[in-house]
Structure 1
Amino acid sequence: MSRAVAALLGLVLTGCASVSAERSIDEVRKLAGPDAAALKAVTDASGETERAQAVEALLAKPLGMDEAIRLAMLNNRSAQAGLAELGVAEAELAQAGRIENPTLSFAKLRSEGEVEYERAFKLDLLGVLFIPWRMRIETQRLEQEKLRVAADIARLALETRKAWVNAVAAAQSARYRADVNEAAEAGATLARRMADVGNFSRLDQAREQAYYAETTAELARARQEAVEARERLIRLLGLGGSEVTKLTLPERLPDLPATPRAFEQTAQVAAQQRLDLQRARHEVEGLARSLGLGRATRWVNALETSYLHNSSNEGHRARGYELEFQLPLFDWGDARLARNEASYRAAFNRAAEIGLNAESELRARYLGYRTAYDLARHYRDEIVPLRRTIADESLLRYNGMLIGVFELLAEARQQVVAVDAYLDALRAFWVADADLALAASAGGGETGSGPRRAAGNQAGAPAGH
């Protein structure tokens, strides 16, 4: 028996030595995808200094989309908390490979002048025998934890991408609305002066003044949306204090890609890499192992061996060993077994539901992605050029004194509406792109996050010109 225990102990120590925090983080990086390349656990002062220097370098210039994701991987506290929780699972695995501490007991008995001493050394033999099984179960749980953390990291990266898109788009829209408001103010001033000299009706002046007032409200709303979008990005980046004032963003969003993604390629990536599906499979496999262990220990779930050494003051000595096990008189283990079987069935059905939901989510996300791409391209290639042409032709007619200044302004305002709608469509495309990537990797993303204004709700040109 001693040789078997020694062999098991050697196997356990080998398994414990193989648990490495850095290796687990490396696996999380691979599972979360290329966006998680900069992910690193900060555990000491030197790591904190290195992190601060990397953040300082990234904030030294306008923060692009990829740089924003890298900054979130370095600086987001939720990401660091996830890595720390991964360490908890590693510790549980190490604990599963430890033999329970033995029990040493000592007793002194006195009877009619005779004194007896009893010493016992007890070891949970059943616990030793099932160490490899427990380690396999905890290994399975560690793999599940890796998948959970990787899914959170992937979701953080893609939410950061969406927040960056919304922040850049909102700031760009606010600047554009400021230009529109300035032009509307000039139109309202001109209308007032013409009305003062009797060359413009009070009705037409009121229309110009109303348009200026509406663009002023739109500008205030756009600036507030820009502030909210920027603060959302700041939270995901984990910035605070003086770091916030150092954050600068590009002035415009990236252009549309030349071609959209293919659905077949996206579906293939989801089938191979989607983390919630992998986690569900690991959960089912882990519960299947637990169910096997529950069946093995249904009748005997406590077995201890003891080494005994008794002696007395009269010189009598006795040595031997003792085996103890619980008799299944009241608890036959059927309740534990039923609980394990029910947990397995529940996990199996949850995994099947996750698979079905993943298919539906991917189809919906891809449809939203293609619609956003086609809509943005339609605005870019059709509507905005047509509105520009109309504005240019109106300018020629104004120069030829065929139309007045306010008819020219009306056409210019329609061009403003078209350009603003294109900016919003471009923002919606990049958000849909992030949602699709999330659906293919981690699942559970939200669609259409961030502000969006419908073109019909924007201040249009005054009627009647």
Structure 2
Amino acid sequence: MTSERIGQDVRLHETGDAAGDDAHAEAARLLAQPLTPDAAVRVALLNNRALRASLARLGVAEADLVQAGRMRNPGIGFSRMSGGGETDIERSVMVDLVGLLTMPMRRDIEARRFEGAKLAAALDAVRLAADTRKAWFNAVAAAQSARYAGQVREAAQAGAELAARMAQVGNLSALDQAREQAFSAEATAQLARARHNAVAAREHLARMMGAWGEQTAFGLPERLPDLPASPKAAGAFEAEAMQQRLDLRLARLELEATARALGLTKATGFINVLDAGYLNSSKTGSAREDGYAIELSLPLFDWGGARVAKAEAVYMASVHRAASAAVLARSQVREAWSAYRTGYDLARHYRDEIVPLQKKISDETLLRYNGMLVSVFELLADARSQIGGVNAAILAQRDFWIAETELQAAIHGGGAAVPNTEQGLSQ
């Protein structure tokens, strides 16, 4: 289920076994090279401990499934009474008949829950892959912005130093010098903020990948990937999401399991204890007597109505939860498509319109400076005006790739988690 949606499989391995050693070696090999988004996702699927915990919980669901196919252990009774020179001994073996009769239904319920646990594990893997890809884009964009902020500060410091020298010889007013110094100070603050953002984004990516120790020394490319030549065509994304989303499949499966549990609760609502077994009795001086015994709970105080009403309420809650998940999924797909298309258009607009125009303005200003038509400070002021445009272009490109990741997640299973149904229905 995971490989169908993200192109990479996921498997459980234990530290120290052959599979675990192979996974560790593969993760180390990927981390030794500049990380791509796919490589970061692969490392996360191999290394993330939270995902491994989710996969390990499959063993719990499998154990419940195996347990549902087994009868309750028989009970053995023994009593001995003596008096008046006689001894009366009774022995019994009791078997749970209700458990035997309802075993197929209980096993079917647990089988559906086991399938639900597999869906939940696959959903965790798909969500982890999406979160890791988004963390990669954030980390690369933050590092790119930090490098640009460093260049801005160098230029601002050069401008402030030039302004100070010109002020000393009386060629610059105190007001203009203060402006250059203020810009240099602000550029220093912006660089510190950008560097912290780059560190925070990188650490978030490391957490997604489960990297620690030497693994945190991974390398990232210097810039974000280029935009695709054209955006994806609008398609029947809502219908595809209804078929592909793992959280919707999980909601439908839990609804079916709840319906089966409701039938079991109704079947055992009036009588839920019925034991039958072999009984023998022996007395001093008498032949042994054999027979059978039946133990039945009498519904004098509890007729099972409350348990049935609870099961029906849980079933209706599952019905509404499944319907709500479908409505939510459709809305998420529409919103994700809008964000994807808007992100592409904005990023292309910055790439094809705003950045080239700013470069043209910069080139024209430089020509005028070379012709001594503008001062060096007008040249620096023009450079400062481009800072916001360059940063906005980087963020627009990042936002597009994040929107593309969220669109895929919305189609294939990244919706809100569906809570588990009541676990005590079949008990």
Q: What TM-score, normalized by structure 1, do the two folds share?
A: 0.86
Does the CA contact (< 8 Å) of 2:280 and 2:291 recur in 1? yes
**Aligned partner (choices 245, 252, 256) of residue 281 of structure 1:** 252
Structure-2 separation of matches of 1:132 and 1:92: 14
Structure-2 separation of matches of 1:418 and 1:115: 101
Does the CA contact (< 8 Å) of 1:165 and 1:427 recur in 2? yes
**Aligned partner (choices 221, 224, 231) of residue 260 of structure 1:** 231
**Aligned partner (choices 147, 155, 165) of residue 183 of structure 1:** 155
Structure-2 separation of matches of 1:268 and 1:359: 8
Structure 1: runs of 5 or more not aligned? 1-26, 447-465
Asked whether 1:97 is paired with 2:90, we answer: no
The 5 A counterparts of 1:298-317 are: 298-317=269-288
* Aligned-partner residue type, residue 421 of structure 1: A
Q: Secondary structure at the match of 1:100?
A: coil
Post-superposition offset of 1:227 = 0.8
Q: Secondary structure at the match of 1:298?
A: coil
Asked whether 1:372 is paired with 2:343, we answer: yes
Structure 1 stretches (4+) deviating beyond 3 angstroms? 443-446
Post-superposition offset of 1:111 = 4.1
Asked whether 1:40 is paired with 2:11, we answer: yes
Structure-2 separation of matches of 1:266 and 1:389: 41
**Aligned partner (choices 122, 137, 154) of residue 150 of structure 1:** 122
Q: Which residue of 2 aligns with 1:127?
A: 99
Q: Secondary structure at the match of 1:420?
A: helix
Asked whether 1:251 is paired with 2:222, we answer: yes
Q: Which residue of 1 aligns with 2:294?
A: 323
Structure-1 separation of matches of 2:186 and 2:3: 51
Asked whether 1:239 is paired with 2:211, we answer: yes
* Aligned-partner residue type, residue 332 of structure 1: W
The 5 A counterparts of 1:337-356 are: 337-356=308-327
**Aligned partner (choices 360, 363, 369) of residue 334 of structure 2:** 363
Post-superposition offset of 1:265 = 4.2
Deviations 1:271-294 (CA, angstroms, capped at 9, x unpaired): 111122111111211111011111
Q: Secondary structure at the match of 2:142?
A: helix
Q: Which residue of 1 aligns with 2:146?
A: 174
Structure-1 separation of matches of 2:397 and 2:97: 66
Deviations 1:124-154 (CA, angstroms, capped at 9, x unpaired): 0110111110011111111222222222221
Structure-1 separation of matches of 2:236 and 2:132: 24
Structure-2 separation of matches of 1:353 and 1:44: 40
Asked whether 1:393 is paired with 2:348, we answer: no
Structure-1 separation of matches of 2:38 and 2:15: 27
Asked whether 1:272 is paired with 2:243, we answer: yes
Asked whether 1:86 is paired with 2:58, we answer: yes
Structure-1 separation of matches of 2:329 and 2:90: 64
Post-superposition offset of 1:315 = 4.5
Deviations 1:301-337 (CA, angstroms, capped at 9, x unpaired): 1111111122233250222222222222221111111
The 5 A counterparts of 1:43-54 are: 43-46=14-17, 47-54=19-26
- Farther-moved stretch of structure 1 (414-423 vs 285-294): 414-423
Q: Secondary structure at the match of 2:94?
A: strand
Post-superposition offset of 1:445 = 7.1
Structure-2 separation of matches of 1:373 and 1:442: 23
Does the CA contact (< 8 Å) of 1:438 and 1:445 recur in 2? no
Q: Which residue of 1 aligns with 2:132?
A: 160
Q: What TM-score, normalized by structure 2, do the two folds share?
A: 0.93
Post-superposition offset of 1:443 = 3.3
Q: Which residue of 2 aligns with 1:12?
A: none
Post-superposition offset of 1:389 = 1.2
Post-superposition offset of 1:357 = 1.6
Structure-2 separation of matches of 1:234 and 1:44: 20
